Amino acid sequence: MFPRFRIILPLKVLIISNFCDAFDPCLVGNFNFLLKPGLRGGNCHLQPGKVVCDRFIDDGWYKVLHEDDIKPRKMLEGIVSPSYCGTSFPIWLNGSHPNTVDGIVNRTACMVGVNSFCDVEYDIQIKACAANDYVYNLQKAKTCNAGYCFGVNLPCAKPNPCEPENSKLINVEDDRSTSCKDKSLSLCDNILSNEWYRIQKNDIDLKMPTTCVEQNSCGTVSPIWLNGSEPTLPEKVVSRKACVSNDNACGCIKFYNIEIRNCSTFLVYNLTSTSSCPERFCFGTDGECRSKTNGLTDEKEDFQKYIYGSVAAISILLIFVSIAVYIWYRKSLRLRSISTESKFPQCKESKNGENEIFKD
């Protein structure tokens, strides 16, 4: 029994040793992604309500990659001013990054504090998985409003327009489709605000046509269509030209610069108001023209209705108030008259020439 026990024990030690040597933090599954990567840039000033706090992260290996980043972000080397990197007390790398041949290295990270640029030190580890591709073994911060800095000279990342709170959902009618051809319609997007839009009709997502649209379509005289391809998912946000169909037909003499983002199951469009009328963005290919529309153009109509309704309500209220004041005034006069009569009774002349008090 004893010889067998002596053989098994070294094998267990050998297996454990080989497992430790084989652990590679660069492999998928051996690291996590740090939260709020878009706010960790060196030029991202602290934003109210969006403070980076690494007090509650788990100790372990991390990569930092924002959705619009091509490669993972690199930790900042050197001193960082307070209230940058999206936090009150930034944590920066007091040292240099390793090369791929160095393997896992030990480094010190400093937290900017009230007294100095290195009030608190953290022991961390770094490994270079490839050129400009690193993983970091980080410790949780000892206080909140303290966070690790990633992204040299990077500003705060723009909000993801695919998230509902960062884009405006618009439900449109059939008259925005390319099949709506009515020369009597001259709707316009001149009051359109410059922001991200998700376009739907009956809860179904619509797309901007990618081929030339003839005039007097989409409920307007000069329809606007996409001159270019739709972005793929890896492309993220792309810039495109939106052409205006005018007398030059498909020549794209006039166009608007817009942005498009692929959100996997739908597209969002960063649109702008038109510089002249009647020009309108097209969405969808099916549907019949309608005399009344809603959606992007109806924002102005809804506002006008609100104003007109408010003025009408105020006018009616003033009329009622005037009537009430008039009634109160008449009643006050009557009461005053009665009071005067009670104090000074009317008299009439008697047969003998003397005045008598007039009684009802």
Is 159 part of any domain? no
100 in Cβ contact with 24 (< 8 Å): no
Residue pLDDT tens, the chain, 360 long: 444 434 343 434 344 444 445 799 999 999 999 999 999 999 999 998 899 999 999 999 999 999 888 899 999 999 999 999 999 999 999 999 999 999 999 999 999 999 999 999 999 999 999 999 999 999 999 999 999 999 999 999 988 899 999 999 999 999 999 999 999 999 999 999 999 999 999 999 999 999 999 999 999 999 999 999 999 988 888 999 999 998 877 889 999 999 999 999 999 999 999 999 999 999 999 988 875 444 565 444 555 555 666 777 787 888 888 888 878 777 777 766 666 555 555 544 445 554 444 344
* 359 Cβ contact partners less than 8 Å away, ≥ 6 residues apart: none
230 and 319 housed in the same domain: no
Phi, psi of 67 (to 5 degrees): -60, -25
Return the SS3 of 308. Answer: helix
Domain that holds residue 290: 164-296
Is 189 part of any domain? yes
291 and 314 housed in the same domain: no
Is 278 part of any domain? yes
Instruction: Please give the model's pTM, rounded to 2 decimal places.
Output: 0.59
Strands 89-93 and 146-148: parallel
121 and 238 housed in the same domain: no
Looking at residue 335, the DSSP 8-state letter turns out to be H
194 and 106 housed in the same domain: no
66 and 174 housed in the same domain: no
Is 1 part of any domain? no
Number of domains, the chain: 3
Which structure tokens are listed for 46? Answer: 């602290």
41 and 96 housed in the same domain: yes
CA distance 49 to 224: 38
32 and 142 housed in the same domain: yes
Look at residues 35, 137, 136 and name the one whose alpha carbon lies nearest to residue 86: 35
